[in-house]
Structure 1
Amino acid sequence: MVRLITHNMLTCHVKNCTKDNYPLVFQDAAVEIRPAEPNLGFIERFLPKLEWSALVSTAKALGDDSLPEVMPEDKEELRSEEFLTKLHHVLMELLAEHEVGR
């Protein structure tokens, strides 16, 4: 099982992999929701490290469409409890187990 916070940082280091191998693609993934105590301060500080489009596309592939297509530009919205709670859910509570493809 892998959390999406970890998945968002993974890249392929196998010989002959190219930049087109990111993000790693879930195929036939088993999805599990595992509740985790929210640490919204951590999530807010982690925002600059995220590859947003990869995170959103992966979350959607796993059946979660709670995040906006584009990261909000408004700093107040980025700091809102509602936004950070949704992001916490996707990053920390949504787990997938599968064969990695691409």
Structure 2
Amino acid sequence: MKLLTYNFLTSKCIRGVKIGFPLKLNIIEKKIVSSDFNSEFIARMLPRLDWGAIKQAANNIGADLPATMPEDISNDTETLQKLHHILLEVDIVEGSLECPETGRIFPISDGIPNMLLNEDEV
């Protein structure tokens, strides 16, 4: 699972959950997969990113991002390259996602997050 995907996942579908975001990311195994840097793509993704969630995920993998999104980030190649690495090159192979409201655990196996709910949760 790429961390770009993580940015969009929520547990809001669980009965009683109002926000369900950001999910707590627990990493057991990750791998780094090289990909070509595309500053335009990263710049286009910026409005869709929840900076707090990406910052938290970056801390989880040992990467460093500023506490808040820099105002001139579109012109900050170094930060865009860090984001590219965090969002597109880090692949979570095994781990879990935890709902911040209920504590419900969603496993990540072979890079695929299992977000299926039990019948009593919907």
TM-score (norm. length: structure 2): 0.71
Matches within 5 A, 1:52-67: 52-65=51-64, 67=65
The higher relative CO (CA closer than 8 Å, separation ≥ 6) is in 1
Partner of 1:15: 15
Q: Deviations over 1:74-99 (max 9, x none)?
A: x2x43222121111011101121312
Q: Deviations over 1:41-84 (max 9, x none)?
A: 1101111110001100111022222x1111001x2x43222121
Match for residue 69 of structure 1 among 64, 67, 73: 67
Matches within 5 A, 1:1-102: 2-12=1-11, 13-19=13-19, 21-65=20-64, 67-73=65-71, 75=72, 77-96=73-92, 97-102=94-99
Query: What are structure 2's unaligned runs of at least 5 residues?
Result: 100-122
Aligned residues: 97
Which structure is larger by alpha-carbon Rg, 1 or 2? 2
Residues 80 and 30 of structure 1: is their aligned pair in 2 closer, same or farther, counting only changes over 3 Å?
Answer: same
Read off the aligned partner of 2:98 and give its amino acid letter: G
Read off the aligned partner of 1:86 and give its amino acid letter: K
TM-score (norm. length: structure 1): 0.83
C-alpha distance in structure 2 between counterparts of 1:30 and 1:50, whole Å: 24
Larger proportion of helix? 1
**Kept after mapping to 2: 8 A contact 1:28/1:99:** yes
**Secondary structure in structure 1 of the residue aligned to 2:81:** helix
**Kept after mapping to 2: 8 A contact 1:33/1:93:** yes
